[in-house]
């Protein structure tokens, strides 16, 4: 059972371009979370999705950012018209059980390092 | 304000030595506290999960303690190995939700 797969590992974009980050959760996991990590800071929650549904996007900027988790295929975090401040490591995590359970364990991918020039 | 603070920020020890990392939190209502290990360039990996009723939890050479009254936790690493070099992150969740508050981590370096 492969772990959470994220690609690309590194992504370089110029200001104004679009960035697409992909996350394939572990097999059997229908709960996906995206986090952003700025240098010297802790991971910050962005969005929580279940298959085909956005459950909570309260941590995601309302402008330029969107996320989806289609019935087939990976979850996608999309950043339009990137700016330098978007440069960060973006981590995806998945879980097989609904959130809030004491024994819930998140499995993280290796992240995508986005650099905006 | 819900916060998780870790100390020290960084730590260097010799292989074979023990060390203790600290975590103080102000998250309320509290559900559980987790310690993760994050290798450079990788995602965090879970080490321990503790609820408010648990005082201690072990995973091999890693032992986590929790004092829910003082809102403090520690992670003790015994007989450190070079592979223990990583960031150790304390994560606290709100009761009944999936909202996690991540600390900024302690960067541990183990030298031969």
pLDDT digits (tens, 9 = 90+) for A41-58: 889 999 999 988 999 998
User: Which among B44, B98, B103 has CB closest to A100?
Assistant: B98
Chain A interface includes B89 (CB < 8 A): yes
Average pLDDT over residues A61-87: 95
Q: Please report residues of A whose CB lies closer than 8 A to that of B49.
A: 102-103, 105
Chain A interface includes B68 (CB < 8 A): no
pLDDT digits (tens, 9 = 90+) for B55-82: 999 999 999 999 988 999 999 999 999 9
Query: Vertex A76, ends A71 and A78: CA angle to 5°?
Result: 140
Q: Please report residues of B whose CB lies closer than 8 A to that of A99.
A: 97-98
| Of A116, A110, A47, A111, nearest in space to A80 by CA | A116
Contact B4, B27 (CB under 8 A): yes
pLDDT at B106: 96
């Amino acid at each position: 059972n492969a772990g959470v797969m994220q690609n690309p590992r590194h992504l370089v974009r110029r200001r104004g371009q679009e960035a697409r980050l992909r996350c394939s959760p572990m097999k059997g996991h229908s709960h996906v979370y995206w986090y952003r990590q700025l240098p010297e800071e802790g991971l910050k929650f962005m969005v929580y999705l279940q298959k085909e549904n956005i459950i909570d996007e309260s941590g995601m900027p309302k402008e330029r950012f969107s996320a989806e988790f289609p019935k087939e295929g990976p979850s996608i975090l999309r950043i339009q018209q990137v700016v330098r401040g978007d440069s960060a490591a973006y981590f995806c995590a998945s879980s097989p059980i609904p959130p809030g359970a004491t024994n819930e364990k998140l499995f993280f991918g290796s992240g995508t390092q986005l650099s905006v020039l | 304000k819900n916060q998780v603070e870790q100390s020290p920020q960084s730590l260097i020890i010799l292989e074979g030595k023990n060390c203790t990392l600290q975590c103080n939190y102000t998250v309320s209502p509290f559900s559980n506290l987790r310690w993760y290990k994050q290798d450079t360039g990788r995602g965090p990996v879970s080490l321990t999960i503790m609820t408010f009723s648990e005082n201690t939890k072990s995973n091999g050479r890693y032992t986590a303690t929790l004092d829910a009254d003082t809102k403090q936790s520690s992670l003790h690493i015994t007989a450190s190995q070079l592979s223990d070099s990583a960031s150790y992150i304390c994560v606290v969740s709100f009761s009944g939700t999936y909202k996690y508050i991540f600390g900024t981590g302690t960067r541990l370096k183990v030298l031969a």
